[in-house]
Amino acid sequence: MASSSRARSSSPFSHRKPSSPYSSASSTASYNNTLMPRSCSASASSFFGSRSVTPSRDRSDSIYYGLSHGAGGYGGSLTQVGVGSEELIAEPIDQPRNGGDSISVTIRFRPLSEREFQRGDEIAWSADGDKIVRNEYNPATAYAFDKVFGPHTASHEVYEVAAKPVVKAAMEGVNGTVFAYGVTSSGKTHTMHGDQNSPGIIPLAIKDVFSSIQDSPGREFLLRVSYLEIYNEVINDLLDPTGQNLRVREDAQGTYVEGIKEEVVLSPGHALSFIAAGEEHRHVGSNNFNLFSSRSHTIFSLMIESSAHGDEYDGVIFSQLNLIDLAGSESSKTETTGIRRKEGSYINKSLLTLGTVIGKLSEGRASHVPYRDSKLTRLLQSSLSGHGHVSLICTVTPASSNMEETHNTLKFASRAKRVEIYASRNKIIDEKSLIKKYQKEISSLKQELDQLRQGMLAGVSHEEILSLRQKLEEGQVKMQSRLEEEEEAKAALMSRIQRLTKLILVSTKNTIPGLTDVPGHQLSHSVGEDDKLDVLREGALLAENETQKDSLSSASLIASDLTYEFKHRRSSSMWNEEFSPASSTVTESTHSYELKGTSKLAPGRMTQDQMDLLVEQVKMLAGEIAFSTSTLKRLVEYSVNDPDSSKTQIQNLEREIQEKKRQMRVLEQHITESGEASITNASLVDMQQTVMRLMTQCNEKAFELEITSADNRILQEQLQNKCSENKELQDKMTLLEQRLASLSGDKASVNSEHMSEEYVDGLKKKVQSQEIENEKLKIGQVQISEENSGLQGAKSEIVRRSFLCKRTGLCCSS
Ligand SMILES: Nc1ncnc2c1ncn2[C@@H]1O[C@H](COP(=O)(O)OP(=O)(O)OP(=O)(O)O)[C@@H](O)[C@H]1O
């Protein structure tokens, strides 16, 4: 058979042997060294079946004992087995020395297997009463324990005694460890896991944990599980196939496995589905004693965090519950070769270390305890060193062929009984706890969401926002994207809140304020629960009977976000019932407005819808008051003619008006309180401010643009004037130039014709003054050009500004 990680069926237990003790073992087993009892009678023992042989003895002469404590308790005062015979090898079990508790040690017999039966094995060890194990061949050899379970005890009975108290304490913050110890094929896996017909300690503990949550309506829980195996001294994560060869680390809280995967679980089915998945990876192989022998030690851990609701909050309690299925020790009789032998030697070595550690601890001396000698003892260090409850279930076979191995198990159990523990509630952790982190995150997200909701609805209506958008033209896009962002943020917050709250488990029982009267159909399972329960149903693991399945289902928990949603819906519907305008006729309104629930309506928690409804109610009341007042006025007028007949009507109407005014005041007060509560709403203020800012900016820009446009028009007019002036001057200059040219021609002709001196001087003066005028014209022309270029600059500035205004998108229609 393949040695490692072979695929098995989806049920975590379906790969296991059939429950019948006679159905699994091979009938061809070679087993010759059967031990026969020293004083064996042929009488059949009804206890172990007709084939079993019980040696004869006289107990009353050889042993007396006094057991004074109740079964399965911690710190029980199990007294030693007193002895009256020198043959007695019984190891006395002492009271804890220093007043601490002791490990709970129970023994579970399994029936003779078919193979043992076929082989002619006899009963070598048996339960004598419910606390003593006695050797059938040497009756003086007896051991006393907290409880001894006979071969026909069902697993749930073992659970009640050996595990339930540990689970209960774990729910209250005390760490707990339950482990099954015994030789191969003695029934460890049967005890810890069980099968479909008889669930073992692990499924029963899981079921109990969820029932306990169900019975704790005042608390919130967060559960995580991890599942690992120690195979050949290597730690593998059974929930994560990539998590191989993990390392053990140590911190203030004790040892832990670095990088182990922890899964949050929401229901029993959910938790069991992880075990089923883990079992797929566990190392199982066959030896000549057990077809499905566990080749590794497995530790299934349940991390439990809890805290009280709301005002009752007193910190977070954390505890860890370890449920351990050890691999069985193998004797030389276990015929193994190759890989099995190697596995066997690792198993034996670690169990030997466990024995040594227990031995050292039981001595109670401050000697070195070799926890580090094996991964198993290293991981169990905090449990074994007494910081939590420990329950050891030793599984044994009664078979004579295994008499020595069983004896060794009993001796180990006896030593373990002497180990003292001082289990106490874990320190209250707060900031570091996951549940606290989730709770904080949820409440801040909820606040944020409320703000967002109110911010989007209060004060600024959607229509107003739309009209603002229109006014803001391009600003509309900005606004739109902002709205979308906020919608997205809201949706993201909602889904995050839902996701986180779904991980926190609360009881569905009706004692939490706000959860009362929850109609069954409004409650839902947590996420994934149905799926996981399907997995469970497929494996039929817990389908022991319908009742049990039902109780498991009823133990399933709702997520607190559903509670939140439910509360929300409930308050809304209550609101609708009480404040529905539809139900408010003038005469009935007195009742419908009556604020029966005012104390329930914490103003800060009002949704916008509720606020709107209130405002509507106030408006309606105001209308009604106005209507009644005018009716009253008319009645008073008519009453002049017939005062008696109208008197009662007038009085009634006056009373009605007074009453309505009173109701209106109460409603207004509510609105004011709610308004005050929401006035701090940053999102709303933000949004309104943004709108206002954009509006103001837009108006300013529009005004600026108007001024600039006006300036522009004036400048353009000026430019045109200057241009026409310029044209005139240019025309004038052309004329003057023409005249100058003609004058120059005149001068030449005068010179040539020897014109009179006077005439020439006169002409010269004319020319000079003309030149001066010319110069002036030129200067004028330069000025005009300069002015022209100034105007051009102004023009481009206007164009630039207009462009900028358009770019900012904030210009008005002008
Ligand atoms: N109390 C019991 N009642 C009936 N059958 C039992 C009981 N205990 C064990 N068996 C049966 O004995 C066989 C061996 O049991 P199991 O596999 O649990 O032993 P184990 O101690 O886990 O062995 P290993 O150490 O090799 O894994 C199985 O077929 C199982 O169903």
pLDDT at 540 over 90: no
* Binding site membership of 189 for ligand 1 (Cβ less than 6 Å): yes
CA 807/CA 814 separation, integer angstroms: 14
* Binding site membership of 288 for ligand 1 (Cβ less than 6 Å): no
Task: Please indicate if the annotation marks 640 as binding a ligand.
Answer: no
* Binding site membership of 164 for ligand 1 (Cβ less than 6 Å): no
- Local structure of 601: helix, strand or coil: coil
pLDDT for 778 equals: 80
pLDDT for 383 equals: 79
Quick one: pLDDT band at residue 771, thresholds 50, 70, 90? Answer: confident
* Binding site membership of 19 for ligand 1 (Cβ less than 6 Å): yes
Distance set, CA 411 to CA 133, 156, 191, 362, 391 (Å): 11, 26, 20, 12, 16
* Binding site membership of 188 for ligand 1 (Cβ less than 6 Å): yes
pLDDT for 13 equals: 30
pLDDT at 785 over 60: yes
Pocket test for ligand 1, best of 3, 8, 107, 110 (most atoms within 8 A of CB): 110
CA 675/CA 677 separation, integer angstroms: 5
Distance set, CA 663 to CA 310, 583, 611, 619, 621 (Å): 32, 16, 16, 12, 8
pLDDT for 557 equals: 35
| 796-799, Cβ contacts within 8 angstroms, sequence gap of 24 or more | 798/708, 798/709, 798/711, 798/712, 798/715
Task: Please indicate if the annotation marks 184 as binding a ligand.
Answer: yes
pLDDT for 382 equals: 80
* Binding site membership of 296 for ligand 1 (Cβ less than 6 Å): no
Pocket test for ligand 1, best of 189, 283, 376 (most atoms within 8 A of CB): 189
* Binding site membership of 774 for ligand 1 (Cβ less than 6 Å): no
Taking the centre of ligand 1 as the mean of its atom positions, its distance from the CA of residue 113, in whole angstroms, is 9
Name the token pair of 147: 């409880």
CA 345/CA 333 separation, integer angstroms: 13
3-class secondary structure per residue, 109-156: ECCCCHHHHHHCCCECEEEECCCEEEECCCCCCEEECCEEECCCCCHH
CA 620/CA 664 separation, integer angstroms: 9
Quick one: pLDDT band at residue 811, thresholds 50, 70, 90? Answer: very low
CA 145/CA 81 separation, integer angstroms: 9
CA 741/CA 439 separation, integer angstroms: 103
Q: What is the mean pLDDT of residues 460-478?
A: 61
Nearest Cα residue to atom 15 of ligand 1? 187
Task: Please indicate if the annotation marks 183 as binding a ligand.
Answer: yes
Taking the centre of ligand 1 as the mean of its atom positions, its distance from the CA of residue 189, in whole angstroms, is 6
| 563-571, Cβ contacts within 8 angstroms, sequence gap of 24 or more | 563/506, 563/512, 563/514, 563/515, 564/446, 564/497, 564/501, 566/515, 566/518, 566/522, 566/523, 567/514, 567/515, 568/607, 569/522, 570/514, 571/600, 571/601, 571/605, 571/610
Other beta carbons less than 10 A from residue 535's beta carbon? 20
pLDDT for 658 equals: 87
pLDDT for 587 equals: 32
> Is the pTM above the cut of 0.80?
no
Taking the centre of ligand 1 as the mean of its atom positions, its distance from the CA of residue 17, in whole angstroms, is 7
| Helix or strand run (H / E) with residue 257 | strand 254-257
Nearest Cα residue to atom 10 of ligand 1? 187
Taking the centre of ligand 1 as the mean of its atom positions, its distance from the CA of residue 195, in whole angstroms, is 11
Taking the centre of ligand 1 as the mean of its atom positions, its distance from the CA of residue 671, in whole angstroms, is 70
pLDDT for 58 equals: 37
**By C-alpha distance, which of 668, 609, 689, 4 is closest to 282?**
4
CA angle (267 as vertex; 266, 273 as ends), nearest 5: 100
CA angle (174 as vertex; 173, 176 as ends), nearest 5: 130
For residues 425 and 470, the answer to whether their CB atoms sit within 8 Å is no
Task: Please indicate if the annotation marks 131 as binding a ligand.
Answer: no
pLDDT at 468 over 50: yes
Atom of ligand 1 nearest to the CA of 113: 12
Task: Please indicate if the annotation marks 188 as binding a ligand.
Answer: yes
| Helix or strand run (H / E) with residue 219 | strand 219-231
- State what percent of residues in the chain have pLDDT above 90: 21
CA 506/CA 266 separation, integer angstroms: 10
* Binding site membership of 17 for ligand 1 (Cβ less than 6 Å): yes
* Binding site membership of 417 for ligand 1 (Cβ less than 6 Å): no
Ranked by mean pLDDT, the top range of 235-249, 512-526, 596-610, 716-730 is: 235-249
Task: Please indicate if the annotation marks 148 as binding a ligand.
Answer: no
pLDDT at 206 over 70: yes
Taking the centre of ligand 1 as the mean of its atom positions, its distance from the CA of residue 289, in whole angstroms, is 10
pLDDT tens-digit series, residues 78-134: 333 433 222 233 343 444 445 567 789 999 999 999 888 898 999 999 999 999 999
Beta bridge partners of 284: 294
Task: Please indicate if the annotation marks 259 as binding a ligand.
Answer: no
CA 305/CA 316 separation, integer angstroms: 7
For residues 509 and 217, the answer to whether their CB atoms sit within 8 Å is yes
Taking the centre of ligand 1 as the mean of its atom positions, its distance from the CA of residue 513, in whole angstroms, is 48
Nearest Cα residue to atom 31 of ligand 1? 19
Nearest Cα residue to atom 23 of ligand 1? 185
Taking the centre of ligand 1 as the mean of its atom positions, its distance from the CA of residue 400, in whole angstroms, is 17
**By C-alpha distance, which of 463, 459, 457, 466 is closest to 486?**
457
CA 741/CA 743 separation, integer angstroms: 5
Ranking 41-50, 598-607, 670-679 by mean pLDDT, the lowest is 41-50
Which parts of 163-217 fold into alpha helices (H)?
164-171, 188-192, 201-214
Which parts of 472-539 fold into alpha helices (H)?
475-503, 529-539
For residues 102 and 420, the answer to whether their CB atoms sit within 8 Å is yes
Taking the centre of ligand 1 as the mean of its atom positions, its distance from the CA of residue 188, in whole angstroms, is 6
pLDDT for 84 equals: 29
Ranking 337-346, 496-505, 595-604 by mean pLDDT, the lowest is 595-604
Sign of the Cα torsion 574, 579, 581, 586 reads: positive
pLDDT for 555 equals: 34
Q: Report CA Rg, the chain.
A: 48
Mean pLDDT of the chain: 68
* Binding site membership of 140 for ligand 1 (Cβ less than 6 Å): no
* Binding site membership of 187 for ligand 1 (Cβ less than 6 Å): yes
3-class secondary structure per residue, 362-413: HHCCCCCCCHHHCHHHHHCHHHHHHHCEEEEEEEECCEHHHHHHHHHHHHHH
Eight-class DSSP state of 300: E
Q: In sequence order, which residues have a C-beta less than 8 Å from that of residue 701 and are 6 or more positions away?
A: 805, 808, 810, 811, 812
Nearest Cα residue to atom 14 of ligand 1? 185
Q: What is the mean pLDDT of residues 33-47?
A: 30
Ranking 231-235, 336-340, 566-570, 763-767 by mean pLDDT, the lowest is 566-570
Taking the centre of ligand 1 as the mean of its atom positions, its distance from the CA of residue 395, in whole angstroms, is 9
* Binding site membership of 328 for ligand 1 (Cβ less than 6 Å): yes
Instruction: Provide the ipTM.
Output: 0.98
pLDDT for 333 equals: 58
**By C-alpha distance, which of 108, 811, 332, 220 is closest to 564?**
220
pLDDT for 506 equals: 72
Q: What is the mean pLDDT of residues 254-261?
A: 90
Taking the centre of ligand 1 as the mean of its atom positions, its distance from the CA of residue 197, in whole angstroms, is 14
Pocket test for ligand 1, best of 1, 114, 149, 185 (most atoms within 8 A of CB): 185
CA 164/CA 71 separation, integer angstroms: 12
Distance set, CA 739 to CA 11, 29, 735, 736 (Å): 122, 146, 6, 5
**By C-alpha distance, which of 382, 398, 378 is closest to 390?**
382
pLDDT at 550 over 50: no
CA 355/CA 411 separation, integer angstroms: 10
CA 181/CA 380 separation, integer angstroms: 14
* Binding site membership of 182 for ligand 1 (Cβ less than 6 Å): yes
Nearest Cα residue to atom 2 of ligand 1? 110
Atom of ligand 1 nearest to the CA of 294: 27
Q: What is the mean pLDDT of residues 496-524?
A: 50
Beta bridge partners of 505: 221, 559
Sign of the Cα torsion 586, 588, 591, 597 reads: negative
pLDDT for 464 equals: 65
Sign of the Cα torsion 330, 335, 338, 339 reads: negative
Taking the centre of ligand 1 as the mean of its atom positions, its distance from the CA of residue 207, in whole angstroms, is 22
Taking the centre of ligand 1 as the mean of its atom positions, its distance from the CA of residue 800, in whole angstroms, is 92
pLDDT at 503 over 60: yes
The whole-angstrom distance between residue 342's C-alpha and the CA centroid of its chain comes to 43
pLDDT at 29 over 70: no
Eight-class DSSP state of 296: S
Nearest Cα residue to atom 8 of ligand 1? 187
Taking the centre of ligand 1 as the mean of its atom positions, its distance from the CA of residue 186, in whole angstroms, is 5
CA 199/CA 387 separation, integer angstroms: 28
pLDDT at 545 over 50: no
Task: Please indicate if the annotation marks 623 as binding a ligand.
Answer: no
